[in-house]
């Protein structure tokens, strides 16, 4: 009986550890810079498995920078989105696929009319696994000349993330009728719906 009790305790401990491990793996973070964060946020919000998206700044030298400071290009920050996602519903490499197909990763410090280091193409990785997946993916894009020109996306270790002011959050959903949203963001969303229809929330 004592032996049975010990076995039950050992089994229960193992199950608890597995359960804790599953919980720790449940939600993960991914951080991407791909130009204006208003556009990026609107795209990733629509993906199945993405639970939240926050717009902010990362990779600079100044603590708690303002949007105005980042816009000068002097703080070293990139406009980024911090994506919280469920890896059981969407994998990191699927997020990377959306990232690379939704902006031009061959232009250094530029996306369309937006010019400056704050608009650079960058992946901030949160684990060694994310780093390896991103580097492998980038190499494949360059080896196959997927974009015709070299991919210049930086792959950097995650740095302190500073969330942008509340009026930057959920921007497209709140300001969809503004000219910028209609002219710049809407075409990106239409492309997303064509290319990644199977990955979108229903």
pLDDT > 70 in the chain, percent: 88
pLDDT at residue number 202: 80
Catalytically active residues, by annotation: 36
Task: Please state, as a whole number, how many other Cβ atoms lie within 10 Å of the Cβ of residue 63.
Answer: 8
Mean pLDDT for the stretch of residues 114-134: 97
pLDDT at residue number 136: 97
* Contact present, 130 and 156 (Cβ < 8 Å): no
Question: What are residue 3's phi and psi, to 5 degrees?
Answer: -60, -40
pTM for the full predicted model = 0.86
Residues near 30 by Cβ (< 8 Å), separated by ≥ 6? 82, 83, 85, 92, 95, 126, 130
- Cα torsion angle, 37, 40, 46, 51, sign: negative
Question: pLDDT band at 92, cuts 50/70/90?
Answer: very high
Question: Residue 4 pLDDT more than 50?
Answer: no
Question: Residue 3 pLDDT more than 90?
Answer: no
Q: Per mean pLDDT, which range of 3-12, 71-80, 176-185 is the poorest?
A: 3-12
pLDDT tens per residue across span 23-75: 456 999 999 999 999 999 999 999 999 999 999 999 999 999 999 999 999 99
Sorted by where each begins, the domain ranges of the chain are: 28-196
pLDDT at residue number 85: 98
Q: Distance from CA of residue 22 to its chain's centroid?
A: 22
What is the third-level CATH fold of 28-196? 3.30.1060
């Amino acid at each position: 009986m004592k032996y049975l009790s010990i076995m039950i305790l050992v089994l229960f401990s193992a199950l608890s550890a597995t359960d804790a491990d599953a919980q720790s793996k449940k939600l993960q973070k991914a951080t991407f810079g791909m130009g204006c964060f208003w556009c990026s946020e609107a795209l990733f919000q629509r993906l199945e498995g993405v639970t939240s998206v926050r717009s902010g700044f990362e990779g600079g030298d100044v603590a708690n920078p303002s949007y105005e400071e980042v816009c000068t290009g002097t703080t070293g920050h990139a406009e980024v989105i911090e994506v919280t996602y469920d890896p059981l519903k969407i994998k990191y490499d699927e997020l990377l696929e959306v990232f690379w197909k939704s902006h031009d990763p061959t232009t250094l410090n530029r996306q369309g009319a937006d010019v400056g280091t704050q608009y650079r193409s960058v992946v901030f990785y949160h684990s060694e696994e994310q780093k390896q997946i991103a580097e492998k993916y980038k190499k494949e894009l360059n080896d196959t000349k997927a974009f015709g020109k070299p991919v210049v996306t930086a792959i950097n270790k995650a740095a302190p993330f500073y969330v942008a002011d509340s009026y930057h959050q959920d921007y497209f959903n709140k300001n969809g009728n503004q000219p910028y949203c209609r002219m710049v963001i809407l075409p990106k969303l239409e492309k997303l719906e064509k290319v990644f229809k199977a990955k979108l929330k229903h």
